[in-house]
Amino acid sequence: MDKIYLNGMEFWGYHGLFPEENKLGQRFYVDLELELDLKPAAQKDDMDQSINYGEIYEVTKTVVEGEAAKLVETIAEQLAQQLLQSFSLLEACRVKVTKPDPPIPGHYKSVAIDIYRSRRDD
């Protein structure tokens, strides 16, 4: 299966278990790997046979900057489901949501959730 990647998208959201996360918000990074057949689009040079990256970005922004969730896992799942519902050519997607500044003790670069969903999962 062919793939489209959107990497390092940055958003501001209010997700987390702690009240200060819901009030102050924080950065979230999203990486997407989208699986679909790109051969028809390439052969015909036809955008209608592919997925518009700008539209993917807007759906991602709406989910990540939308209603607050306690878990990053919830955001990843909501995004995967929204992408599969919104883009009929999309066969599957990998969604990685990174939280670079979680308010937990320790030294690390970030925490992240990485999920894979396909139409066959339904």
**Which residues are the active-site residues?**
99
The pair phi, psi for residue 52, each rounded to 5°, is -75, 120
109-114 long-range contacts, Cβ below 8 Å, gap at least 24?
110/29, 111/72, 112/72, 113/72, 113/73, 113/75, 113/76, 114/76
